């Protein structure tokens, strides 16, 4: 039975404590938060119906867990606010009890926004507090049939070939997700979103658990670590002070969860402090050596690749230069190691620029690949040893991907970074691919900088230092990195882990686009990793290039220093000027359906154009049924689809599905008839 509340037509500003039993906090068009001032819990309603009941908050202080419900006295106040995203009111419920820190729950309601943002703060003016965790939201979602819902697992990063996973609550009871939690109905697209909009200090996890009564318990856990998600093998770092705040958490209910995720990403981006310089050039197109050449880098082979792109392909109508980007093993062009002779590398960069192209390089600034050689090796450009700069964790050191994490706050790590970046700048490089950045976000027993207490604080310090060293001279591309927190520091980010040529690579990449397309609002460009034609069929090659195009940018990866069919295929690709306008704005396509590992239908509504991409990942032909409603097209209008590969035309209707051969993809421009 719903509790009886004292309703008010006005916002009430409480001067004393416990003067009313409930506070009515409006938000958006018809939303309300009803805060029970006696119980310390709250319900959230929309259109008069409760959709989150008995919500409450907790916070850690040392070993103690403070619960808003355990407090006796409460006070409610309001204030106006303005931040990078918008304006609104913050509604503050302060709970007090003798012998305990003050416990504040701050509800931010933005003008015109149908969701709320919640933050928790603990405060004690006489005693120093210590906390490594909050649960700003714990409550129960009131849903119509939990078995009809899917819960989304969102990874913290794109390392170890991790994937997004949409789990039916018919098949699983609980899901832990990093930073973002989504419960949605695939058919109606209706959904709930609970997500952190701040990653400056805390890692956040979202936990959903199906109850026997078909409701769903939800928690937003600020200070979350899990070895298979955040990579940490120890608890989250602790903050100290008289006042400690949680991350801000968005709580929303949306008619289309995809629109909700677009809103979330836009809000998160507005809250971030942009550090990287503004990108004003066209969407990047690049070649990267890791696609096929890998460790076989040599100056002569790189010259042949450069000559192919300079002489043998048709220039793009948009006029942008192509980046010739060296990946790992570029140091084979050095003599004497990182402190040695860079003249051959400079010669390569000069040659690339002489051909009207742009040279790119690679660096993994926060890892030690040679840790097997021992702790006493001297760190290049410093008087420190590698043992000095390794990140210290509970079980010794953090090793992942065959490499060891370096403390991003340590002067030795920073001096080594400054040495390499300085040399690359002197050589004239205009792009850098930075990799294994997640190693810089690991929780540690201590950092060299005593002001840094958490992995995310260390990450931001290290990334700010890196961007400062680059000094606006390069396009910055992130490979393996945290999904959300990397956005202030780079122009371009790979959405998944390594991918090459097969239809399995395409499917793997598009899993991350299916459930992570919303990151297009965080970054200037997202990338589907290097497109490799070698070793796959023509249909797989087409699917692979289209998977890159719909992600937002193109990085090619074949070894053009050697003869092969990939030369002709790449020439044909550049000659097709119908495809390249699709990436002109650098923005991703959106999935049309998300009830499987990777969507088969994606759409993009550009200014004046609608593009539709279809994928068949199977070993046999498939027919894809399209509908105006699902595609967001005019309900009763007729459309023709112009195939951007060969300009053939397809007309679609529910009784006229589009056929795809085995492992085939098609990219269309839709035109209303």
Q: Which of 255, 116, 251 is nearest to 181 (CA)?
A: 251
DSSP for 537-571, written as a single string: -HHHHHHHHHHHHHHT-EEE---TTS-STHHHHHH
Strands 239-241 and 87-96: unpaired
Tokens of 73: 């006295």
Neighbouring CB atoms inside 10 A of 194's CB total 28
Strands 73-82 and 87-96: antiparallel
| pLDDT given for residue 432 in this prediction | 98
Question: How do residues 65-76 score in pLDDT, each as one tens digit?
Answer: 999 999 999 999
| Mean pLDDT to the nearest integer, 16-23 | 65
* Residue 412 placed within a domain: no
DSSP for 126-146, written as a single string: SS-EEES-EEEEEEEE--S-G
Q: Look at the chain and report how many structural domains it folds into.
A: 2
| Cα-based torsion angle of the residue sequence 463, 469, 473, 474 in order, rounded to the nearest 10 degrees | -40
Which residues pair with residue 129 across a beta bridge? 241
* Residue 125 placed within a domain: yes
* Residue 636 placed within a domain: yes
- The CA distance from 430 to 423, in Å, is 12
Which residues pair with residue 523 across a beta bridge? none
| pLDDT given for residue 10 in this prediction | 33
The domain that holds 142 is classified in CATH as: 2.70.98.10
| Mean pLDDT to the nearest integer, 451-472 | 98
Question: How do residues 359-396 score in pLDDT, each as one tens digit?
Answer: 999 999 999 999 999 999 999 999 999 999 999 999 89
* pLDDT: which is higher, 342 or 17: 342
pLDDT at 574 over 90: yes
Residue after which a domain boundary falls, among 271, 297, 321: 271
Strands 639-643 and 665-672: antiparallel
- The CA distance from 466 to 414, in Å, is 8
| pLDDT given for residue 20 in this prediction | 61
Residue after which a domain boundary falls, among 271, 299, 317: 271
| pLDDT given for residue 8 in this prediction | 33
Exposed/middle/buried for residue 672 (C-beta within 10 Å: 0-12, 13-18, 19+): exposed
Which residues pair with residue 108 across a beta bridge? 90, 117
The domain that holds 639 is classified in CATH as: 2.60.40.1180
* Residue 110 placed within a domain: yes
- The CA distance from 258 to 31, in Å, is 20
Residue after which a domain boundary falls, among 216, 245, 271: 271
Which residues pair with residue 204 across a beta bridge? 222
Q: Is residue 18 very low, low, confident or very high in pLDDT (cuts 50, 70, 90)?
A: very low
Q: What's the longest Cα–Cα distance across the chain?
A: 82
* Residue 124 placed within a domain: yes
Which residues pair with residue 360 across a beta bridge? 325, 431
Question: How do residues 414-443 score in pLDDT, each as one tens digit?
Answer: 999 999 999 999 999 999 999 999 999 999
Indicate the helix (H) or strand (E) that contains 254. strand 249-254
Tell me the C-alpha to C-alpha distance, in Å, between residue 274 and each of 454, 519, 522.
Answer: 21, 15, 10
| Cα-based torsion angle of the residue sequence 345, 349, 355, 356 in order, rounded to the nearest 10 degrees | 170
Neighbouring CB atoms inside 10 A of 493's CB total 28
Helix (H, G, I), strand (E, B) or coil at 167: strand
| 570 backbone dihedrals φ, ψ, rounded to 5° | -70, -40
> Average model confidence (pLDDT) for the chain?
95
Please list, residue by residue across 305-326, b when 16 or more beta carbons sit within 10 angstroms of its beta carbon and e when fewer do.
bbebbbeebeebeeebbbbbbb
Question: How do residues 275-332 score in pLDDT, each as one tens digit?
Answer: 999 999 999 999 999 999 999 999 999 999 999 999 999 999 888 899 999 999 999 9
Query: Are the C-beta atoms of residues 22 and 4 closer than 8 Å to each other?
Result: no
Question: How do residues 476-496 score in pLDDT, each as one tens digit?
Answer: 999 999 999 999 999 999 999
| Mean pLDDT to the nearest integer, 552-581 | 97
- What value does the CA radius of gyration of the chain take, rounded to a whole number of Å? 26
- The CA distance from 615 to 504, in Å, is 12
Strands 285-288 and 525-527: unpaired
- The CA distance from 366 to 170, in Å, is 42
* Residue 394 placed within a domain: no
- The CA distance from 62 to 40, in Å, is 22
Query: Measured on CA atoms in the order 85, 89, 95, 101, is the torsion positive or negative?
Result: positive
- The CA distance from 343 to 360, in Å, is 16
Q: Is residue 673 very low, low, confident or very high in pLDDT (cuts 50, 70, 90)?
A: confident
Question: How do residues 131-152 score in pLDDT, each as one tens digit?
Answer: 999 999 999 999 888 888 999 9
| pLDDT given for residue 144 in this prediction | 82
| Cα-based torsion angle of the residue sequence 474, 476, 479, 482 in order, rounded to the nearest 10 degrees | 150
pLDDT at 3 over 70: no
The total number of residues shown for the chain amounts to: 673
Find where tokens 């300009």 sit.
Answer: 647
| pLDDT given for residue 13 in this prediction | 41
Lowest-confidence pick of 35-44, 144-153, 176-185, 304-313: 144-153
DSSP for 618-667, written as a single string: SSS-EEE---HHHHT--TT--EEEEETTT--EEE-BTTBPEEE-TT-EEE
Indicate the helix (H) or strand (E) that contains 60. strand 49-61
Strands 204-210 and 216-222: antiparallel
* Residue 187 placed within a domain: yes
Q: Where are the beta strands (DSSP E) in 265-383?
A: 285-288, 322-325, 358-363, 367-368
| pLDDT given for residue 635 in this prediction | 87
Owning domain of residue 639:
591-672
Q: Is residue 15 very low, low, confident or very high in pLDDT (cuts 50, 70, 90)?
A: very low
CA angle 538, 588, 262 (to 5 degrees): 150
Strand order in the sheet with 590-591: 590-591, 601-606, 609-615, 665-672, 639-643, 649-651
Q: Which of 152, 235, 220 is nearest to 186 (CA)?
A: 152
* Residue 364 placed within a domain: no
Contacts 24+ apart (CB under 8 A), 331-338: 332/295, 332/297, 332/298, 333/297, 333/298, 333/299, 337/380, 338/380, 338/381, 338/416, 338/419, 338/420, 338/423
């Amino acid at each position: 039975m719903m509790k009886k509340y004292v309703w008010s037509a006005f916002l009430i500003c409480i001067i004393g404590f416990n003067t009313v039993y409930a506070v009515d906090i409006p938000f958006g068009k018809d939303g309300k938060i009803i805060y029970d001032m006696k119980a310390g819990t709250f319900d959230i309603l929309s259109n008069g119906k409760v959709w989150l009941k008995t919500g409450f908050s907790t916070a850690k202080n040392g070993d103690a867990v403070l619960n808003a419900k355990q407090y006796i006295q409460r006070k409610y106040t309001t204030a106006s606010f303005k931040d990078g995203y918008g304006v609104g009111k913050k509604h503050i419920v302060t709970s007090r009890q003798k012998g305990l820190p003050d416990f504040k729950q701050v509800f931010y309601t933005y003008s015109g926004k149908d969701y709320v943002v919640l933050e928790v703060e603990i405060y004690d003016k006489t005693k120093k507090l210590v906390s490594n965790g909050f649960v700003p939201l714990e409550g129960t979602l009131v849903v119509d049939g939990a078995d009809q819902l899917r819960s989304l697992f969102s990874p913290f990063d794109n390392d170890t070939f991790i994937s997004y996973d949409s789990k039916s609550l018919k098949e699983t009871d609980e899901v832990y997700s990093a930073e973002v939690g989504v419960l949605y109905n695939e058919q109606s697209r209706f959904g709930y979103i609970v997500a952190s909009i701040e990653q400056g200090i805390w890692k956040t996890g979202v936990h959903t658990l199906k109850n026997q009564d078909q409701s769903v318990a939800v928690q937003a856990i600020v200070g979350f670590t899990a070895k298979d998600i955040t990579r940490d093998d120890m608890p989250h770092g602790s903050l100290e002070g008289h006042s400690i705040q949680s991350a801000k958490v968005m709580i929303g209910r949306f008619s289309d969860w995809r629109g909700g995720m677009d809103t979330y990403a836009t809000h998160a981006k507005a809250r971030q402090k942009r550090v990287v310089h503004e990108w004003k050039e066209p969407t990047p197109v690049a070649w990267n050596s890791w696609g096929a050449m890998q460790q076989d880098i040599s100056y002569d082979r790189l010259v042949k690749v450069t000559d192919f792109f300079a002489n043998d392909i048709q220039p793009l109508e948009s006029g942008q230069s192509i980046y010739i980007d060296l990946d790992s093993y570029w140091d084979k062009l050095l003599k004497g190691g990182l402190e040695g002779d860079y003249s051959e590398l400079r010669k390569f960069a000069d040659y690339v620029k002489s051909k009207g192209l742009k040279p790119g390089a690679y660096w993994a600034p926060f890892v030690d690949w040679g840790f097997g050689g021992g702790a006493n090796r001297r760190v290049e450009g410093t008087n420190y040893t590698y043992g000095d700069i390794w990140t210290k964790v509970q079980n010794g050191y953090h090793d992942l991907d065959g490499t060891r994490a370096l403390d991003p706050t340590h002067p030795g790590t920073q001096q080594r970074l400054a040495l390499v970046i300085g040399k690359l700048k002197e050589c004239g490089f205009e792009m850098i691919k930075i990799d294994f950045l997640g190693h810089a976000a690991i929780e540690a027993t201590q950092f060299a900088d005593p002001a840094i207490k958490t992995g995310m604080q260390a990450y931001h310090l290290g990334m700010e230092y890196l961007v400062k060293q680059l000094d606006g001279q390069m396009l910055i591309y992130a490979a393996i990195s945290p999904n959300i927190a990397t956005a202030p520091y780079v122009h371009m980010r790979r959405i998944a882990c390594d991918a090459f040529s097969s239809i399995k690579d395409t499917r793997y990449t598009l899993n991350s686009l299916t459930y992570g397309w919303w990151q297009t609002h965080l970054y200037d460009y997202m990338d589907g990793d290097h497109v490799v034609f070698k070793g796959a069929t023509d249909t797989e090659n087409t699917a692979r290039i289209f998977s890159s195009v719909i992600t937002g940018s193109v990085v090619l990866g074949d070894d053009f220093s050697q003869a092969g069919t990939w030369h002709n295929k790449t020439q044909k690709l550049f000659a097709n000027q119908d495809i390249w306008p699709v990436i002109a704005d650098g923005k991703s396509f959106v999935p049309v359906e998300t009830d499987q590992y990777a969507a088969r239908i994606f759409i993009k509504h550009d200014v004046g154009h609608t593009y539709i991409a279809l994928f068949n990942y199977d070993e046999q032909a498939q027919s894809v049924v399209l509908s105006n409603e699902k595609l967001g097209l005019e309900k009763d209008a007729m459309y023709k689809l112009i195939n951007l590969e060969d300009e053939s035309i397809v007309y679609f209707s529910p009784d006229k599905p589009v056929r795809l051969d085995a492992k085939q993809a098609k990219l269309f421009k839709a035109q209303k008839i």
